Amino acid sequence: MTETKIYHIGIQSRNEIVSHAAKTILDGGLVVFPTETVYGLGADALNPRAVKRIFEVKGRPTDNPLIVHVSSINMAATIGKDIPHLFYDLAERFWPGPLTMIVKKANIVPDITTAGLPKVAIRMPAKDIVLDIISTAGRPIAAPSANLSGKPSPTTVEHVIDDLSGKVDIIIDGGQCDIGLESTVIDVTCNVPRIYRPGGLPLEEIEGIVGTLEYIPYSDGKVLSPGQKYRHYAPQARLIVYYGPGYNDVIVREIKKHLVLGRKVGILCVEEHRDIYNKAGASEIICLGNKADARSISKNLFAALREMDKRGVDVILSEGFEERGLGLAIMDRLMKASEQVITHNTMVENNEGSH
């Protein structure tokens, strides 16, 4: 057990938090901090022993590389090599923000940080206190999402405490994360830049600058990035996602079937559809937001998956979302967390046996 110090932004002084966190990073410790996407579990990216602790604490497979967080484009340039122009164009436009870029790595980045890969993923998060910690430490910080491997990424400090209390040195409470889904990951070393993970920055916005992108949706079953092959974000209950024509009716039928079998059913849906499922007899309904409000849906999704487990439901039936804008990342996470995706009344088995 490690003694975990919890700080609350707005209660303790910012200077106190920043200086203790920066010192802890330089001492090889672990600091959990909020970002605009999800909470991150940070360590000195250039200290292999500190980075090893991240993998141990999360129970993360060692072939899954970490994102390195920087406080400036200059700092990014010290950990990359042969960095293409496009990297700088995108950084100017979207940093700080939910965009992670992959470039060739410089020798100072230890192999463990990139899981032995010759490339490093870099991001500048849009959270001032984190940028202060990085610049005060004067070190780039490696940080995966601050959840135990396989669980939904944490978007509130309670999620972090559930997973990591007693395992890290510092947890910084910054309230609920704004975006609620992880950053978009793009490899800018290829001729046609390649999206490894859709995320908080919609692909349409990147396309506005880059032109064509290569993106292979998760549902195609091909694995490009090491992180994509693991079952992710998974709640304990079975999650089934429904979309396509008539999906409301299919969910209503399913609710009734599960209730007859004595199962406790959870529903994830948009506000406009609450009554439909309420009338069908579902008691555990979490509305993620209004239909037109993708930001609210993304912000609430991971918290809702964790909440369903707290409520002890046996099965979660979720509405699907249109795969455009933030909806693409929302559906990517839902599909990765699910056991089945049912579209146009066709069933696709998903993640079988990997629960």
- Per CB under 6 A, residues contacting ligand TXA are 35, 37-38, 40, 64-67, 100, 102, 114, 117, 119-121, 123, 125, 143-145, 182-183, 185, 196-197, 225-227
For residue 343, give both structure tokens: 């579209």
Q: Say if residues 129 and 174 touch (Cβ distance below 8 Å).
A: yes
121-153 residues labelled b (16+ CB within 10 A) or e (exposed): bbbbbbbebbbbbbebbebbbbbbbbbebbbbb
Verify binding: residue 35, Mg ion, rule CB under 5 A: no
Residue (37 or 350) nearer to Mg ion, CB: 37
Stretch 143-202 residues interacting with Mg ion (CB under 5 A): 145
With CB under 5 A as the contact rule, which of the stretches 62-70, 123-131, 137-145, 249-257 interacts with Mg ion?
137-145
Q: At what angle do helices 14-26 and 128-137 cross, to 10 degrees?
A: 50
DSSP assigned state of 217: -
Q: Residue 193: name its binding partner from ligand TXA, Mg ion, none (Cβ under 5 to 8 Å by kind).
A: none
Neighbours of 211 (CB within 10 A): 9
With CB under 5 A as the contact rule, which of the stretches 73-81, 138-146, 283-291, 302-310 interacts with Mg ion?
138-146
The distance of closest approach from Cβ of residue 172 to ligand TXA in the complex, given in angstroms and rounded to an integer, is 12
The distance of closest approach from Cβ of residue 63 to ligand TXA in the complex, given in angstroms and rounded to an integer, is 9
Amino acid, single-letter form, for residue 186: I
The distance of closest approach from Cβ of residue 352 to Mg ion in the complex, given in angstroms and rounded to an integer, is 22
Q: Say if residues 131 and 139 touch (Cβ distance below 8 Å).
A: no
For 133, the 3-state DSSP assignment is: helix
The distance of closest approach from Cβ of residue 41 to ligand TXA in the complex, given in angstroms and rounded to an integer, is 8
Residue (61 or 245) nearer to ligand TXA, CB: 61
Residue (199 or 320) nearer to ligand TXA, CB: 199
Neighbours of 50 (CB within 10 A): 25
Q: How many CA atoms lie within 13 A of 96 on its CB side?
A: 17
The distance of closest approach from Cβ of residue 251 to ligand TXA in the complex, given in angstroms and rounded to an integer, is 30
Verify binding: residue 37, Mg ion, rule CB under 5 A: no
Catalog residues that contact Mg ion under the rule CB under 5 A: 145
